[in-house]
Chains A and B, each alone.
Chain A
Amino acid sequence: MLLDAGNLRAMAIGCSILGAGGGGDTSVGLLASLQAVEEFGPVRVVDLDELDDDALVMPCGGIGAPLIWIEKIDRGDEIPRIIPIVERIHGKPVAALMSAEIGGSNGLSPVVWCARSGRPLVDADGMGRAFPEVPQVTMEVAGVSPNPAVMTDERGNVIIFDGIDGHWMERMERAAAVEFGGQAYSSEYQMTVAQAKTATARGTVSLAIRIGEAVLAAPRDPVASLVETLGATVLIEGKIVDVERRITGGFVRGSAAIEGLGPQAGRILRLEIQNENLIALEDGEVRASVPDIITVCDTQTATAIHTERLRYGQRVTVIAFACDPIWRTPAGLELAGPRAFGYDLDYVPVEAIWRGGTSAPA
């Protein structure tokens, strides 16, 4: 499969939906990737099965504040410049780049870097959604080392980190990103293809495109088409009646209430938010929870609405769908289950809560 002007718009829609309300706006990333394929040609997407088991996969992404990235847009060659450094450290060529996070803007940025470096993009990523922190990736769950992390800025400064664990990697990289002007670009958790086969969320690039194409192909009812493509559960269709939100330490926290409309009148769904939509509650019962993906879509257009853009009166359909199976393992839940975000409740997969369809919980 090739990424070009014909399917990047669809991919951007898909990355937004997979962002679970977070991951940053995809509009700058879409423009950047469209410009990159126009200037450097289309990008090849490869499945891990097409690569040699001992070939090197390089995850990459941006780290910093989304607000800064919409102002100080990247140069475009940040990650391509650090590829030779990663190759020197590992003593072998980088066979392909991989998005560290498919959800939101980080899903699209690697398209720019692949176009410029002539590398293919792996049809996988490190989350299958969006999460706020560097170590909240499937590679961490699978025991891949984050070291060495290589970080750069638009000027050409490079830092190589060797952390004792993923938590320290997050702290060190965030601090350096502030010094670089609030935004930087990095690679962690480089691995062989053999490791990547079990340590990543696979097929997520093609999933993002399928999601977007399903939405674009059904202008009359894009939400229904989206739900069918994802096998998602509709948690509620209604209108936002309350948003409570505060920004602390650069993170968005709060909650939103959605009141059912039409046949669902009388129902109220409440979303708990920390950058992403984490928990959906109704009548005190959990209807879906992290690490499953909960996305608020515009009922008419199916566009994903980011948590910082939720507003009273919006007509929305809230959907939930299964996360990558890695997140449902004990190690995965320890890193990114409800308790990792401070909610004292046991995780139940969304399809188990809603067994038997989308009309009522089992």
Chain B
Amino acid sequence: MPPLDLRLGIDVGGTNTDAVVLDPNDRLLARAKVPTTPDVTTGIARAIASAVEPLEVDRRRITHAMLGTTHATNAVLERRRLHRVAVLRLGAPATFAVRPLFGWPEDLRAAVSAGEAIVEGGIEFDGREIVPLAADDVSRFAASVAGRAQAVAISSVFAPVSADHELAARDLVRKELGDVHVSLSHEIGSIGLLERENATVLNAALAGVAQDVARAFRSALRACDLDPVTYFAQNDGTLMDLEYALRFPVLTIGSGPANSIRGAVHLTGMSDAIVVDVGGTSTDVGVVVRGFPRESSTGVEIGGIKTNFRMPDLVTIALGGGTIVRSGSEGVTVGPDSVGYRLSEEGLVFGGSTPTLTDAAVAAGRLELGNHAIPAGLRALLDAALARAEAALADAVDRVKTSREPRPLIAVGGGSALVPDSLPGVSDIRRPEHFDVANAIGAAIASVSGEVDRIFNLGPGGRAAAVDEAVSEARDRAVAAGASPATVEIVELEEIPLTYLINPAVRIRAKAAGPLDT
């Protein structure tokens, strides 16, 4: 790995694609904001070119490039370029009451499934087998999908307690199908078979998309005469290298808000706060705890499918700089639609004819923008709309809090002028410099992490020994992924004792993270 010099961070949002270049001291050398394109890839290439173009230093000093992209989300929503997945569940004789992919939108299932089977196997909550794994049935199923399946998703009952059956099934599948992509549920989701299985199938379906993105990213960099090491931003606010991203493409879903939160932390130096990211179309309100995004404790829905892999815990509202303001029979309405990146043509202050929340912010003196006066007759409408928007923001901020204690708030994103100077339950509102590219900065400064989440059987050393083992395993993984050994630290540690066990055991989740090794 080359020594760390300049870094290029790119983040794809719903409205804009942003890029920044940072020097080794995290100073911003260049920034660019271009409209997100329907194919996403073109916008990424343009953002890179626009950021690199004005650089006064040798662009070949860019040694690292980090991308947070929406390719995976879009592929699921548009049912495009998805791999055909053989869906294998290890759980018979249990679990037949809800078969794999039951309840999926029919078109998505048709696009993804290369066949589904439930074979005998799976684990009990206490680590015993429900029944022994039916190895012959696994091999038979694998043989039956040969030639049709581009990937295989394997989910065992209680895989988070023991991965034994999933690992054995993977080896059997590989024997039949060779070097096919295999996603294993214990590496992807938590307790809750159906949601974890769904996330595992989506991950397998996205394996091809991940390869396409990696290729497009490389070629966009080469077109600008760049040859850095590439990373992908993942949804916990850390980076994954290319190899890891190809194995876990589903983890890129939700990386945008995570990047904004990390960017807000970097720009303010605050590690515990509420972060409000106002974009062109929507606003994400999240919470940063000890420097990382707080994760959701409940499942998230992607493209109409319930999943349970970890995502930033957010309240998202349809409110952004481009949100359209109207007056109707029931008074003023705010959105939910937005003019998006066409704000600079359609907004009133830019000489257009569509009243937006940006116009409302300008009218209220929050913001200086554009060169056209706002018609006096629209002033009342815009004021009412801004009041509505503020009430919705205040409500969203209160919803992400876990107590009534006042907390500081960091406002970022291109539309953050919509955040008023005071909000109930907020002690202090910070508006950092470069707030409008906080997401791309977040991608560029993100650290590398390593994680352990498994059941430890308690030996003579008891709980303390198990925790030590988990912590050092997480550290080793972070260092192996490229984190600097001197600065890597444990950012999350959770113990969940398992009851009803003959031999005491505990589930430990440990996560270590640190900046890239320089």
Contacts and interface: CB of A to CB of B under 8 A. Distances in A.
A313 B398 contact: yes
Contacts of B96: 75-77
Interface in B99-119: 99, 102-103
A191 interface: no
B229 interface: no
B483 to A, nearest CB: 33
Interface centre among A65, A154, A182 (most CB of B within 10 A): A154
Contacts of A250: 499
A178 B500 contact: yes
A154 B126 CA distance: 17
A32 B402 contact: no
Contacts of B399: 313-314
A265 interface: no
B322 interface: no
A76 B94 CA distance: 8
B124 interface: yes
A72 B98 contact: no
A211 to B, nearest CB: 22
Nearest to B124: A181
B93 A155 contact: yes
Q: Is the interface of B mostly helix, strand, loop or mixed?
A: loop
Contacts of B93: 75, 154-156
Contact of B191 (A28, A67, A154): A67
Interface in B134-172: 157-158
A70 B91 CA distance: 13
A312 B398 CA distance: 9
Nearest to A109: B97
Contacts of B304: none
B95 A72 contact: yes
Contacts of A36: 97
B335 to A, nearest CB: 17
Contacts of B95: 72-75
A72 B122 CA distance: 9
Q: Is the interface of A mostly helix, strand, loop or mixed?
A: loop
A241 B98 contact: no
A155 B91 CA distance: 11
Contacts of A182: 124-126, 500
A33 to B, nearest CB: 9
Contacts of B192: 70-71
B130 interface: yes
Interface centre among A70, A71, A178, A313 (most CB of B within 10 A): A71
Contacts, number: 90
B401 A73 contact: no
A253 interface: no
B329 interface: no
B495 to A, nearest CB: 14
Contacts of A312: 401-404
Interface residues of B, number: 34
Nearest to B299: A27
B191 A70 contact: yes
A355 B500 CA distance: 47
A159 interface: no
Contacts of A72: 91, 94-95, 122, 124-125, 130, 157-158, 193
Interface in A215-253: 239, 241, 250
Interface residues of A, number: 33
B194 A31 contact: yes
A311 B402 contact: yes
A4 to B, nearest CB: 16
A181 B102 contact: no
B298 interface: yes
Interface string A56-87: 00000000010110111111110000000000
A312 B96 CA distance: 37
Contacts of B401: 312-313
Given A35-B97, A76-B97, A71 B500 contact: no
Contacts of B490: none
A45 interface: no
B17 to A, nearest CB: 33
A71 to B, nearest CB: 5
Given A32-B97, A73-B94, A112-B97, A313 B125 contact: no
B238 to A, nearest CB: 26
B94 A28 contact: no
Nearest to B398: A313
Nearest to A25: B192
B499 A73 contact: no
Interface in B41-100: 91, 93-99
A269 interface: no
B98 A32 contact: yes
A34 interface: yes
A241 B306 CA distance: 28
Query: What are the nearest 7 A-B pairs in CB distance?
Result: A76-B97, A154-B94, A32-B97, A181-B124, A73-B95, A31-B98, A313-B399
10 contacts: A31-B103, A35-B97, A35-B98, A70-B194, A73-B98, A155-B130, A156-B93, A181-B124, A312-B403, A314-B399
Interface of B: 91, 93-99, 102-103, 122, 124-126, 128, 130-131, 157-158, 191-194, 298, 306, 398-404, 499-500
Interface of A: 27-28, 31-32, 34-36, 65, 67-68, 70-77, 112, 154-156, 178, 181-182, 239, 241, 250, 309, 311-314
